[in-house]
Amino acid sequence: MTRLSTYFLPTEREPPAEAEALSHKLMVRAGLIRQVGAGFWTWLPAGWRVHERVVQIVREEMNAIGGQEMLMPVLQPAELWRRSGRYGIEELFKLKDRRGADLVLAMTHEEVVTTHVAAAVKSYRDLPLILYHFQVKERDEPRPRAGVLRTREFIMKDSYTFDRDAEALDVSYQKHVLAYDRMMDRCGLEWYRVEADVGMMGGTGAHEYMAPCPAGENEVAIAAGYAANLEVASAEAQPVAPQPPLAAPEVVPTPGMTTIDAVASALSVPDGALLKAYPIILDGDEMRLVVLRGDHRVNEIKLQNALGMPFRPAHADEVAVRLGPPGYIGPVGAQMPILLDAGVAPGGYVTGANQADAHLRGVEPGRDFSFERVDVRTVMTGDTVNGSVIRIEPAIEVGNIFKLGTRYSEPLGARYLDETGKEQLIWMGCYGFGPARAAAAAVEQSADEQGISWPRAVAPFDVEIVVVGKEGSEERAFADGLYGELQELGLDVLYDDRDAGPGEKFTDAELLGCPLRVTVGRRTLGAGEVEVQLRRGKLATSVLLEDAAEEIAELWRGLP
RNA sequence: CGGGGAGUAGCGCAGUCUGGUAGCGCACCCGGCUGGGGGCCGGGCGGUCGCAGGUUCAAAUCCUGUCUCCCCGACCA
C-alpha cells in the first residue's frame, strides 16, 4: 500500500538545526530516518526500503561466492569476550543480567562464530567455510555523528571465512574482493578499494571500500593505479630545491626561533630544507629520534607499524635531559638511534644544534649522522606514485575486508586435523559491510539542490506517480489505473494521491528522489500523453496514454 | 576525555541581559475558492518553556544542581 495519502513519509521543509552533513539533512527531510538519541536512529518505511535494497544486493553477492547466511545473537556472555581478550575494549557495551552475570552487546561476532566452528569443525574436509549474517552491532562510540554515518547501533553484514592455511585464506579473501567490488558497483556508488591499516589486533592484510564524499570521515590518497587510506599511504615526496653543500655543518644563531616556520624564513630557505626531529619513547623507556623533512608530518600509524610496537612522544623534560633544549634538537651528536624518513633526499639540511638558540646548516645524512631508513610520513597532495600525482579526498568507509589469521582461532580453540592427522589452527578472515553507510554515501554522491537522486538499484521506489487534479477527476482515474498497471509490470510504485497542490507534490518527489517521476495532469492528458521526468538531470519526456505503463517500465530498465 | 554551542508548539526560531497574561513563520484541524511548482480568504487546535531544587508577592527569565543533544578535536580492535 504505497499511496502517499496513507503512507508514513513525514517530509520536512527545513533540515534539523543540528544537521551538518548533506545526507543527514536530506534523509531526515525526505522522511527516511528519525533520530532517537545520540547515535540511535529509526528507519522509517521509505528509508527502510532503501536499507533493505542494499541488504538484498549484499546478500545476493555473498551467496554468489558461496556464503551461507545465518544469525547470531547481539546479547552475549562476557566470558567469550574475556577468552578472546576483547572484553577490555572501551567501545564494548557491558551489562549484567538479573542474576548479576556479566553480558556484552556484541560489536562484531568473531567470538560466537569461531566458537561454533571450533565445536563443529574437526577435519580439513569441513573447510573452507564462508558464514555470514546481517545483525545489529552495538558500539559505544565516543562521538556519534552525521545521521546514520556514525552511530552506536547499526546493522552490518559480517562474514567470516575459515580456511586451512594462509594460502587458502587468500582464496577466500579474493572471493570477497570480487563480491565487494560488485556490491559497490550495484549500489551505484563511486568507490575505491584502498589499502588499510591492519590495526592493533594484528592480521595480515586489509582493504577498505571507500565512497568519496564531503561528509566522509576518512581520507584516501588516490593516484592513477593507486589508492590507500591516508593512514598507511606511501608516496614519493615532491623534491625541494637543493641547498649549497658545505664541507661540514656550520652553526647559525637562531635566537628564540623554535619553529620550522621561524627558522626557515630567518634563513630564507623553504620549510623542506629543514629537518624536523621528533623524539619518541618506546616501551622500555628507550628513546629514538625520528627525523623527517620540515614540511612533512609524522604519520603515527605508519610509525607504529614501522617500529612494530607502541610508542609515545617524548615529554619536554625528557628531551631536555637526554638530547637538548626543545625547539633546537637535531640528529647531529644525538646519543640514540635515528630513524630517517624516506622523504629525505640526500643533500644538506638545516637542523637543530642541540643547544639553545642555534641551528646547524649543511647537515648531510650519512656524513654527519648515521640512521636507519623508515617510511613514516603522512602523504601530501602533490606527492607522486609511479609518476602520477596524488590527490587526497574525504571518503566514507562502506566496507572492509580483513585477514585475521589465527587471532581468534587460537584463543577460542578452532582447530582441525589435516591429511596427515596433525592438528592445525584454522585461518580466518572477517568482512564487514554497512548498508546504512552505503545508503548515506549514495545520497551524498548523487544529491542536488532539490534533494536526493537515488541510483536506480537502491531507490526507495522505482517510480513516483504525481497526479495533479482533484478527487473524482479524469486525471485521478487515469493515475489510479496507471498505478495498478505499473505494479503489475513489477515496478515498485509510490503514488502521490494526496489532496495537495502540485508544487508541494513536485517538491516532495524531488526531495525523495525516485529515479522516475510520472506526472498525470489535465494538460498532458488532454494531449493524449503523460509526462515522465528522469530525476537525474531532470530530463522530461512524454509517453502516449495507450501503452504508458509499458513505456515507463522500458524507460526505467534503461536507467543507470 | 578537552574546547565551543543549544534545549520554548510537529519543524525552524524570537522572548532570557532588565522577573509581571508565552509569541512568530511554516505545518496541522474546519469551511470555501484554486488546481502543472509549497496558491488565496475566513475561523480554529496545540507548549508542565529539558528536569529537580532554591530566591521572590511573582520565574521561560535570577541562583544551584542535573539530564539530553549538536559542532570541533582526541578516539574509532
Q: Would you list the DSSP string of A142-183?
A: SS-BTGGGB-SEEEEEEEEEEESSHHHHHHHHHHHHHHHHHH
**Chain A 53-72 residues whose Cβ is under 7 Å from strand B:** none
Pick from A216, A251, A250: nearest CA to A230: A216
Pick out the nucleotide with least CA–C1' distance to A215.
B71
Residue A456, SS3 per DSSP: helix
Pick out the nucleotide with least CA–C1' distance to A527.
B36
Q: How far is the CA of A499 from the C1' of B41 (A)?
A: 19
Q: What is the reported pLDDT for A108? A: 93
- Kindly report the CA angle at A16 between A509 and A19, in degrees rounded to 5? 105
Assigned C-alpha cell, A148:
546514520
Q: For residue A159, is pLDDT > 70?
A: yes
Which CA distances in Å does A203 have to A112, A199, A307?
Answer: 19, 8, 16
User: Angle A45-64/A435-446 helices, nearest 10 degrees?
Assistant: 110
**Chain A 238-277 residues whose Cβ is under 7 Å from strand B:** none
A523 touches strand B (CB under 7 A): yes
Pick from A158, A115, A116: nearest CA to A135: A158
How many whole angstroms separate alpha carbon A362 and alpha carbon A243? 8
A2 touches strand B (CB under 7 A): no
Residue with the three cell numbers 547499526: A154
For A185-199, A260-274, A395-409, A541-555, which range has the lowest pLDDT when averaged over its residues? Answer: A260-274
What is the Cα gyration radius of chain A?
A: 30
How many whole angstroms separate alpha carbon A145 and alpha carbon A217? 10
Q: For residue A314, is pLDDT > 80?
A: no
The amino acid that residue A285 corresponds to is D
The residue with greater pLDDT, A114 or A362, is A114
Which CA distances in Å does A425 have to A124, A171, A289?
Answer: 11, 17, 40
Q: How far is the CA of A36 from the C1' of B49 (A)?
A: 22
Q: How far is the CA of A199 from the C1' of B1 (A)?
A: 22
Pick out the nucleotide with least CA–C1' distance to A517.
B36
Pick out the nucleotide with least CA–C1' distance to A521.
B36
Q: For residue A555, is pLDDT > 80?
A: yes
Pick from A173, A172, A169, A191: nearest CA to A182: A191
A502 touches strand B (CB under 7 A): yes
A305: phi then psi, degrees, rounded to nearest 5: -65, -40
DSSP annotation string for A272-340? GGBEEEEEEEETTS-EEEEEEETT--B-HHHHHHHHTS-EEEPPHHHHHHHT--TTS--STT-SS-EEE
Contact A411, A433 (CB under 8 A): no
The amino acid that residue A247 corresponds to is A
Q: What percent of chain A has pLDDT over 90?
A: 45
Query: In the predicted model, what is the mean pLDDT of residues A1-21?
Result: 86
Assigned C-alpha cell, A206:
586489509
**Chain A 447-466 residues whose Cβ is under 7 Å from strand B:** 450
> Band of the pLDDT at A14, cuts 50, 70, 90?
confident
Q: For residue A315, is pLDDT > 80?
A: no
User: In A375-492, which ranges are E strands?
Assistant: 384-385, 388-389, 391-405, 415-417, 423-425, 427-433, 463-468
Pick out the nucleotide with least CA–C1' distance to A197.
B77
A539 touches strand B (CB under 7 A): no
Q: What is the pLDDT of residues A393-406, one digit of tens each?
A: 889 999 999 999 88
Residue A475, SS3 per DSSP: helix
How many whole angstroms separate alpha carbon A413 and alpha carbon A86? 16
Pick out the nucleotide with least CA–C1' distance to A108.
B77
User: In A80-230, which ranges are E strands?
Assistant: 93-96, 102-105, 129-138, 153-163, 192-195, 205-212, 218-223, 226-229
A110 touches strand B (CB under 7 A): yes
Q: For residue A321, is pLDDT > 80?
A: no
Query: In the predicted model, what is the mean pLDDT of residues A200-223?
Result: 82
Q: How far is the CA of A503 from the C1' of B40 (A)?
A: 15
Q: What is the reported pLDDT for A556? A: 92
How many whole angstroms separate alpha carbon A341 and alpha carbon A365? 11
Q: For residue A453, is pLDDT > 80?
A: yes
How many whole angstroms separate alpha carbon A552 and alpha carbon A465? 11
How many whole angstroms separate alpha carbon A163 and alpha carbon A144? 35
Q: What is the reported pLDDT for A21? A: 87
Query: In the predicted model, what is the mean pLDDT of residues A116-143?
Result: 93
Q: What is the reported pLDDT for A201? A: 54
Nucleotides of strand B lying closer than 7 angstroms to a protein CB: 1, 5, 11-13, 25-27, 34-39, 68-77
Residue A545 region, left (φ>0) first, then alpha (ψ -120 to 50), else beta? alpha
A150 touches strand B (CB under 7 A): yes
**Chain A 3-22 residues whose Cβ is under 7 Å from strand B:** 11-18, 20-21
A384 touches strand B (CB under 7 A): no
Q: How far is the CA of A443 from the C1' of B27 (A)?
A: 26
Computed from CA positions of residues A129, A130, A136, A142, in that sequence, does the dihedral angle turn out positive or negative? Answer: positive
How many whole angstroms separate alpha carbon A305 and alpha carbon A198? 9
Q: Kindly tell me the burial class for residue A486, based on how many C-beta atoms sit within 10 Å of its own C-beta (0-12, 13-18, 19 or more).
A: buried
Report the side by side order of strands in the sheet with A287-293: A311-313, A275-282, A287-293, A338-341, A372-374
Pick out the nucleotide with least CA–C1' distance to A92.
B77
A394 touches strand B (CB under 7 A): no
Q: How far is the CA of A468 from the C1' of B36 (A)?
A: 7
How many whole angstroms separate alpha carbon A373 and alpha carbon A350? 19
Spell out the residues 6+ positions from residue A447 whose beta carbon is closer than 8 angstroms to its own.
A22, A23, A26, A453, A513
A143 touches strand B (CB under 7 A): yes
A542 touches strand B (CB under 7 A): no
A88 touches strand B (CB under 7 A): no
Q: What is the reported pLDDT for A445? A: 93
Query: In the predicted model, what is the mean pLDDT of residues A104-111?
Result: 93
Q: What is the reported pLDDT for A420? A: 92
Q: What is the reported pLDDT for A302? A: 83
Q: How far is the CA of A37 from the C1' of B53 (A)?
A: 27
A559 touches strand B (CB under 7 A): no
Computed from CA positions of residues A519, A521, A523, A528, in that sequence, does the dihedral angle turn out positive or negative? Answer: positive
How many whole angstroms separate alpha carbon A440 and alpha carbon A25? 11
Q: How far is the CA of A504 from the C1' of B48 (A)?
A: 36
> Band of the pLDDT at A49, cuts 50, 70, 90?
very high
> Around A447, how many Cα atoms within 13 Å sit in the side-chain half-sphere?
24
Residue with the three cell numbers 510504485: A493
A201 touches strand B (CB under 7 A): yes
Q: What is the reported pLDDT for A251? A: 79
Q: What is the reported pLDDT for A244? A: 79
Cis peptide before A15 (omega within 30 of 0): no
- Kindly report the CA angle at A360 between A357 and A363, in degrees rounded to 5? 160
A437 touches strand B (CB under 7 A): no
Query: In the predicted model, what is the mean pLDDT of residues A214-232?
Result: 85
Q: What is the reported pLDDT for A154? A: 94
Strand partners, A40: A37
A159 touches strand B (CB under 7 A): no
> Band of the pLDDT at A200, cuts 50, 70, 90?
low
**Chain A 287-346 residues whose Cβ is under 7 Å from strand B:** 300
Mean pLDDT rounded to a whole number for chain A: 88
Residue A403, SS3 per DSSP: strand
Pick out the nucleotide with least CA–C1' distance to A499.
B35
Q: What is the reported pLDDT for A1? A: 65
Number of neighbouring beta carbons within 10 Å of residue A139: 21
pTM of the model: 0.89
User: Angle A166-186/A45-64 helices, nearest 10 degrees?
Assistant: 140
A272: phi then psi, degrees, rounded to nearest 5: -70, -5
B35 closest protein residue (CA to C1'): A469
Q: What is the pLDDT of residues A342-367, one digit of tens each?
A: 888 888 888 887 787 878 888 888 88
